[in-house]
Chain A
């Protein structure tokens, strides 16, 4: 069964970092781009960027440049999203998502989401 399993909820103080994991099962990460999308409480969806797990190449939204890092460990079929210098408005549910294949830029498989709360 194709699915994505994400790590559990996190609470961090402003200025700290958080690293969220996303484990793929039922398919090989190496074959698909993996994306991260976040959703602040009561708000819409915001795309953060992607990684090509095969090459390790990444593409980030300019808004997050310098603060976000998406990495992968293909040996355990996991991708990670690390966000640094956290601010209160980084409080959100963070989703990993998979596209259908090379050349596609939409999402056919989603993780359940990981709530990251930034609170002092």
Chain B
């Protein structure tokens, strides 16, 4: 089973900053199989990105995904207070797995 490791654990940033969130797979995966979700406190997750770089419906273009092989990145530009959340990467191969999450704090 492929393990997804996200870093950093927490990002503390100010409004207007950019955030770069990393998701590293324990072995090479296809771009098609990497997704990102946002989970705000007390809410269900929300799909942001699928296929490594395709934005889901309603996701602003200041959110972008990239990567290949074992290293994937979620970039959020022009951070706003409403971007405060935990972000998870997800993969499906032999099973469906999530990374441990990166908490983004906007102060």
Contact = CB atoms under 8 A, between A and B. Distances in A.
Contacts of A26: none
Given A106-B90, A106-B92, A47 B97 contact: yes
B56 interface: yes
Interface residues of B, number: 20
A45 B50 contact: no
Interface of A: 35, 37, 44-47, 61-62, 95, 97, 105-108, 110-113
B89 to A, nearest CB: 10
A108 B47 contact: yes
Nearest to B56: A108
Interface stretch (B12-20, B68-76, B98-106): B98-106
Contacts of A97: 44
Given A106-B47, A107-B47, A112-B44, A44 B35 contact: no
